[in-house]
Amino acid sequence: MARQKKTRKISDIMPTRKADKKVPMPKNRRQMSRYELDAQAREDKKKRKHKGLSSGSRNGGVEKKEIKNQSMPQDPRVGSRKKVPLIVEEVVGKNLKPIAKSKDVIEIVKPTALDPNVELMQLENNECLNQLLDDLEAGKKLSHEDQQFVDECLARIEELMDQLGLADEENEDDLYRTFEKIDINQFK
């Protein structure tokens, strides 16, 4: 005959254990027996041991949220059922009137042009431009984009100098004449 494993399941045939019975708590006047103290300690331990959320806590919390929402006044902006179009659709056959600008609307101010002196100083102190000019003087070949940048900056500098009246228009002949006219005795 095959051997059967013993089980510890409580059935109708077996008597119930004292630990399984719920112990009624006595009134405060009477002192608790040892059995009652043990049962109370077990219950307290179960309560202390259980620290996490109960299983299925997601479903239990929904009822509480609904109760809170009903007591608070609902905001009509929240939870709109109106469908929002994700793609701009062109309406054929409808003449849409342009929205009139109100006086309260502030127009965007376009950035004003810099003062020519300030712009000239910025171009002369431009690190990138100075580095590219040094490379050109050293005989290095620049890429097309860099060469275009240098040309634009130099053209703008020349424009600004003409605008401010700082342009050097001396020729070699003018330098030669100046050299001839210098009185050396002045510097003695």
Read out DSSP for the chain? -----------SSSPPPTTTSPPPPPPTTSPPPHHHHHHHHHHHHHHHH--SPPTTHHHHHHHHHHHHHHHSPPPTTTT------SS--PPSS--PPPPPPPTTPPPPPPPPPPPHHHHHHHHHT-HHHHHHHHHHHHTPPPPHHHHHHHHHHHHHHHHHHHHHT------HHHHHHHHHH--GGGG-
- Percentage with pLDDT > 90 across the chain: 13
Question: Token pair of 96, please?
Answer: 């849409």
The reported pLDDT for the residue numbered 152 is 93
pLDDT in tens, 148-168: 999 999 999 999 888 888 766
How many residues comprise the chain? 188
The reported pLDDT for the residue numbered 170 is 57
pLDDT of 65 > 60? The answer is: no
Inter-CA distances, 148 with 14, 56, 144, 182, Å: 100, 69, 6, 42
pLDDT in tens, 29-43: 678 888 888 998 988
- Percentage with pLDDT > 70 across the chain: 59
Cα 45 from Cα 179, distance rounded (Å): 110
- The confidence band for 9, taking pLDDT boundaries of 50, 70 and 90, is low
Is pLDDT larger for residue 149 or for residue 85?
149
The reported pLDDT for the residue numbered 149 is 93
The reported pLDDT for the residue numbered 84 is 80
Average pLDDT over residues 13-39: 71
For tokens 């070949």, the residue is 141
pTM (predicted TM-score):
0.34
